């Protein structure tokens, strides 16, 4: 089977919430030599983009987003074991998490897997992460990059609070901060003192790789 065809089928499986077949499609793609990065970016992520557009246009509802997310998680269970980090090849360490009050983590999860697939060590704090916990981990791990995600506008301020906590502990200068999610943009990043904002996971990885050059 042509690589483009199976990646298109993976994308459609995400869009159509095809949990019965998504795992086998991902296994088949890996078996035929498609890289985990390609499966995620050119397959799964493309499907999630379609889901997002349909949601914005009112064709899909919140329940559909949940179903797409569950399908994505099923696919990631197949792909994740192939995203092996070798210590000697690490580009750097990235701490990521969804901010306090926000329970959405699909985009953040994709971002983390893409980072791993391109050579970063990733520490994922999950969702509903408080400024204090973010700061604790930055202080403990001393990562090169901190990534924060927010999908809803009511949780955006937690990003600003986290940066202020880093400053209070005098550890802000030692880490690059990137933010992402539907609720944020580059203007907001500049306003709160973040180093960058990414419109999606692929752009976020590109920014992080550029920082490590």
Reduce the DSSP state of residue 99 to 3 states and report it: strand
| CATH number of the 88-211 domain | 3.40.50.280
What's the confidence (pLDDT) of residue 177? 98
Element (H, E) at 163: helix 157-168
Where are the chain's structural domains?
A: 3-82, 88-211
pLDDT > 70: percent of the chain: 96
On the question of pLDDT at 30 being above 90, the answer is yes
Neighbours of 1 (CB within 10 A): 9
What's the confidence (pLDDT) of residue 86? 44
The tens digit of pLDDT for each residue in 123-164 reads 999 999 999 999 999 999 999 999 999 988 889 999 999 999
Phi-psi region of 169 (alpha: psi -120 to 50; beta: other; left: phi over 0): alpha
On the question of pLDDT at 84 being above 70, the answer is no
What's the confidence (pLDDT) of residue 89? 57
Strand order of the β-sheet with 176-180 is 121-124, 93-98, 145-149, 176-180, 196-198
On the question of pLDDT at 87 being above 50, the answer is no
Query: Nearest Cα to 78, choosing from 134, 34, 135, 143?
Result: 34
State the Cα–Cα distance between residues 119 and 114, nearest whole angstrom. 9
The answer to whether the beta carbons of residues 178 and 196 sit under 8 Å apart is yes
Q: What's the predicted TM-score (pTM) here?
A: 0.73
Average pLDDT value for the chain: 89
Q: What is the CA radius of gyration of the chain?
A: 17
Let me know if domain 3-82 sits in CATH 1.10.510.10. Answer: no
Task: Tell me the backbone φ, ψ of residue 19, rounded to 5 degrees.
Answer: -70, -20
The answer to whether the beta carbons of residues 145 and 94 sit under 8 Å apart is yes
């Amino acid at each position: 089977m042509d690589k483009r065809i199976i990646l298109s089928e993976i994308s459609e499986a995400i869009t159509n919430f095809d949990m019965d077949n998504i795992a086998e499609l991902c296994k088949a793609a890996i078996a035929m030599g498609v890289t985990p990065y390609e499966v995620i970016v050119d397959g799964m992520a493309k499907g999630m983009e379609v889901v997002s557009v349909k949601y914005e246009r009112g064709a899909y509802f919140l329940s559909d987003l949940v179903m797409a997310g569950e399908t994505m998680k099923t696919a990631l269970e197949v792909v994740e074991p192939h995203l092996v980090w070798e210590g000697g090849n690490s580009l750097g360490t990235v701490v990521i998490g969804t901010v306090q009050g926000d329970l959405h983590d699909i985009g953040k999860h994709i971002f983390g897997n893409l980072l791993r697939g391109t050579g970063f060590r990733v520490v994922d704090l999950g969702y509903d992460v408080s400024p204090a916990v973010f700061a604790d981990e930055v202080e403990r791990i001393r990562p090169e990059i901190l990534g924060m995600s927010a999908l809803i506008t009511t949780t955006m301020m937690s990003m600003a609070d986290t940066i202020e906590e880093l400053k209070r502990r005098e550890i802000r200068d030692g880490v690059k901060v990137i933010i992402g999610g539907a609720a944020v943009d580059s203007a907001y990043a500049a306003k709160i003192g973040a180093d960058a904002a990414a419109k999606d996971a692929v752009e976020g990885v590109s920014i992080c790789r550029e920082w490590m050059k």
